[in-house]
Structure 1
Amino acid sequence: MDLAARLTRASAPARTAAQQPRRPAAPAAPAPAAATVAAPAPAKQAREQSDGYYELKTRIHDRLLDLLDLSMLDKVPEVEVRAEIARLGERILREDFAQSPLNSSERLALIAEIQDEVLGLGPLEPFLKDDTVNDILVNSYLHIYVERHGKLECTGARFKDEGHLRRIIDRIVSRVGRRIDESSPMVDARLMDGSRVNAIIPPLAIDGASVSIRKFSRDPLELDDLVRFGAVIPLIGDVLKGIVRARLNILISGGTGSGKTTLLNVLSRFIPSDERIVTIEDAAELQLKQDHVVRLETRPQNIEGRGEVTQRDLVKNCLRMRPDRIIIGEVRGAEALDMLQAMNTGHDGSLTTIHANTPRDALMRLETMVSMAGMNLPATAMRRFISSAIDVIIQGQRLADGSRKVVSFQEVTGMEGEMITMQEIFRFEQTGIDGKGKVEGYFRTMGVRPRFAERLEAMGVKLAENIFAPSEWRP
């Protein structure tokens, strides 16, 4: 049986005949609604459509669903299904919408959109396939924004209406066994490619449903990429590589979109392949290349409000799994206590990230998180506990031009009185913004020999002799 026979309903011919009256039988007959649609502007702007265009697309889409046997879609390769949808779409346009004013390129764009409606996530699909897009942000069915190269831009894409957007959201969450409705109006999910999704609907979202998608990179960045982008300089890259191999405990700090997870991915590449790694994440994003990796992911509560597994549960469990390294995607709450205890009890070389704007803020947030775990320690004792666990804090930042850089590299040196002490090893100094809006500046070596230098030497990590000497480097 050929593809068309497998995908097309047996009753399709009858349906086709039944719907023939849609086409005008003679010039005197009234034109179909589709014929009144103004031709879209250039094909590039095909998504900035009128309501009439969406009416046409909806009618063709519904007609296509009449012809397709949806139960067969999962049994046929997607590329073949797309080809069959294109064939049927052309046939429907030719037979039922012959007077449509769309030109050939606009017809191709329309069919591509219908393919995305049937097989993908509708108007979001082109952005999911666009490797230059990092984030997709749906403010309402009328407004879709994307982030490219660190900058937000409004696209011409839109959904037909609120119902259209809600159907796409339902499609996303149903694939991972979740639901979203008025009783549960917020949901986190993950697409098949690993991209993470957050959706929120009324009554919490006042202006209609909203969706945020953080795309999953198909090709994770390497250290050389960070150097090429100017996020670090080779000298800092050598030190980053060294502190991972020497099993220092590393905390990566930064604001939203500052590249924390990207840097965590890069650093994880330097963990020796003979070590057992356990990763713990709210939404799996890490892409470790080593073979000996166990990946753990939290689970939200079910519809009955039961079955939740938190990061703290997973951290406690992973300590029974004989990990050589523990990597936590991001510490947000009480699991910080268990992570710090692990770092203090032989699990050297652990890595994690935290939302904070400065290294000092990161330490303060850790204090707050430890308190959330119900550990009633005096402030000084808590800070001593933190300072003995964390060796290095790396601060990332997204700058005004959208670029991301490591802006500070600090070593935690211990306690002085009631305060945790740190010394800065490297720093990015911003000097201004050029005529094109690009941030100008340089990396500066502070001239401080870190205490961990001896540990690197003891672990056999060789660095350039004068690597910590005072110097300035432009990316």
Structure 2
Amino acid sequence: MGKIDILLSDPRLEEIIVNNHKEPVWVYHRRFGWLKTNIIIPTEARIRHFAMMIGRDVGKEITNLNPLMDAHLASGDRVNATLYPISNRGNTITIRKFAEDPWTITKFIEENTIGLEAAALIWLAIQNEMSILISGGTGSGKTSMLNVISNFFPPNQRIVSIEDTRELTLPQNLHWVPMETRLANPEGKGGVTMLDLLVNSLRMRPDRIIVGEIRRKQEAEVLLEAMHTGHSVYATIHANNADETVMRLTNPPIDISKPMISAISLILVQNRNRRTGKRRTLQIAEVTSAGDPVVLMQYNAQTDRMDTITEPKVTFEKISLYTGMTRQDIQFDIRQKTRILQWLIGKKVKDVDEIGMRMSRYYLGNLQLD
């Protein structure tokens, strides 16, 4: 694909966008957001040729009769293409790159996406097998956060992940089974839905279940039922704050009864600043037995850090009930986790597999801090 291959090889780019032959190619950079390149594809015919070439590689075709294409490449990249006149300014190609170098907790903290104390609280919840829901708008970093919190999973548990298109990359030392949905063929056969995989995953003896995104009532019902039957579940949903997350779950089209939501322990809300393009964790909230969210930490745009609003009373009570730990024990544990995270950052441990190995040593009781 000519100069587009240069962009495809850049691990810092998340999206590559071709709008038409008159505009330069756009990219979405991990750190700087949307950027305009100096690359121009000279003709609409060339853009169409690129789209057809991608389609042939994965057994799909894009024609005037079928002017839309959604393809999933062997590399993990996802490609969408449209032809003129459906896209009336010209042919388009949108490439969402699979992150070969995924976000990790140390990278998130270094980029100030999340603070040390907030990360330690999430680690505490995950170690104690609490379920977490991640919400936010489009492009806010929900899936990145889902990937990041998987850094805290212990190595001796079975994890099943379910996505429409695989975007997660967990540490290699984990007992992980990734699964993807599949569209039906032109005859309407062979489709595998998110619900199909979710129901099937419960028969696979999972300890933890990761779901890419909740969209429908049945998915939410099965997910919450899994939480109530002792599985730790981690999922994302489109909502802009903790209150809106509960409203989305309890109103059509999802429409779950509010008491069911108490199975969710924490809600993490991600946000992308529309002015600067920076991603931050906006809120961390716990859910009461009545299904109401209580904000524990809130992002302060003036100071660019999270402020503590209140102590995680419900979370502490759950941990104390099942482990016998006192409030002082839990607070000491959070301080220890904060210290370990600081040590990992100081040691420049950023690779997902290396973090996975350090976490394994922590859970096995032989992580030595220099």
Does residue 221 (structure 1) correspond to residue 88 (structure 2)? The answer is no
Larger RCO (CA under 8 A, 6+ residues apart)? 2
- 1:200/1:389 Cα in 2 relative to 1: closer, same or farther (>3 Å)? farther
* 8 Å CA contact retained: 1:359, 1:410: yes
For the residue of structure 2 that corresponds to 1:157, the secondary structure is coil
Of 241-250 and 325-334, deviating more is: 325-334
Matches within 5 A, 1:221-240: 221-240=103-122
Cα deviation, residue 285, structure 1: 0.9
CA distance in 1, matches of 2:265, 2:162: 20
Cα deviation, residue 252, structure 1: 0.4
- 1:309/1:204 Cα in 2 relative to 1: closer, same or farther (>3 Å)? farther
For the residue of structure 1 that corresponds to 2:145, the secondary structure is helix
Cα deviation, residue 464, structure 1: 3.3
* 8 Å CA contact retained: 2:105, 2:151: no
CA distance in 2, matches of 1:212, 1:357: 25
Does residue 336 (structure 1) correspond to residue 220 (structure 2)? The answer is yes
Matches within 5 A, 1:320-359: 320-334=203-217, 335-347=219-231, 349-359=232-242
Larger radius of gyration: 1
Matches within 5 A, 1:7-406: 121-143=1-23, 144-148=25-29, 149-289=31-171, 290-334=173-217, 335-347=219-231, 349-368=232-251, 371=253, 382-385=257-260, 387-399=261-273, 400-406=275-281
Letter in 2 for 1:285: E
Letter in 1 for 2:27: V
* 8 Å CA contact retained: 1:425, 1:450: no
Tell me the residue number matched to 1:37: none
Q: After TM superposition, where is structure 1 displaced by more than 6 Å over at least 4 residues in a row?
A: none
* 8 Å CA contact retained: 1:193, 1:216: yes
* 8 Å CA contact retained: 2:295, 2:310: no
Of all paired residues, the percent bearing the same amino acid is 35
- 1:231/1:210 Cα in 2 relative to 1: closer, same or farther (>3 Å)? same
Tell me the residue number matched to 1:455: 318
For the residue of structure 2 that corresponds to 1:365, the secondary structure is helix
Structure 2 runs not aligned, ≥5 long: 336-370
Cα deviation, residue 346, structure 1: 2.1
* 8 Å CA contact retained: 1:239, 1:463: no
- 1:181/1:342 Cα in 2 relative to 1: closer, same or farther (>3 Å)? farther
CA deviations over 1:221-256 (Å, ceiling 9, x no partner): 221111110111111111111111111110001111
Tell me the residue number matched to 2:345: none
Tell me the residue number matched to 1:464: 331
CA deviations over 1:420-446 (Å, ceiling 9, x no partner): 411111111112xxxxxxxx5332111
Structure 1 runs not aligned, ≥5 long: 1-120, 373-378, 432-439, 469-475
* 8 Å CA contact retained: 1:222, 1:266: yes
